[in-house]
Amino acid sequence: MDDCIFCMIARGELDARTVYSNDLVIAFDDITPQAPVHTLIIPRRHYADMGDDVPDEVACALFAAAPKVAAIKGVAETGYRVIINNGRDASQTVQHLHVHVMGGVPFSHGMVHFSQ
């Protein structure tokens, strides 16, 4: 995916503040943070979303990276929210699967707001 910004980050062609990485995933800080801690975890390979035949080992690697990122960012004890915006109704804006890890502030209980 030549023109995918997250593929460009994975290839090292676009700067990002890397938090954690391994063979399968890279985590980096969101460019427009919506919480004191807001880090994205992406697979190194391009998958548009969760329905894009993501191999189990990649899905596991994304899931397993979340608590590692939380520990590195210092929110493992205080708690954090893990979010995937998947598809149009979820307002996914970057079409490369990614996991948001957000924390550093207490979030309200209800997770969703909808338009209309």
Catalytic residues: 98
In sequence order, what are the beta bridge partners of 100?
40, 83
Q: Which residues contact 34 (CB under 8 A, 6 or more apart)?
A: 102
Burial of 17 (0-12, 13-18, 19+ CB in 10 A): exposed
Q: Which member of 77, 88, 93, 108 binds ligand AMP (CB under 6 A)?
A: 93
By CB under 6 A, residue 115 contacts ligand AMP: no
Q: At its nearest, how many Å lie between ligand AMP and the CB of residue 93? A: 4
For the segment 41-80, give every residue that binds ligand AMP (CB under 6 A): none
Taking residue 102's Cβ as centre, other Cβ atoms within 10 Å add up to 22
Q: Which member of 53, 88, 91, 110 binds ligand AMP (CB under 6 A)?
A: 91
- As a whole number of Å, the end-to-end CA separation of the chain is 35
Q: Which member of 73, 96, 98, 100 binds Zn ion (CB under 5 A)?
A: 96
Stretch that binds ligand AMP, among 30-38, 48-56, 70-78, 108-116 (CB under 6 A): 30-38
Supply angle C-alpha 99, 103, 109, rounded to 5. Answer: 95
Residue numbers of the site for Zn ion (CB under 5 A)? 1, 4, 6-7, 46, 96
Residue numbers of the site for ligand AMP (CB under 6 A)? 5, 14, 16, 30-32, 40, 85, 91-94
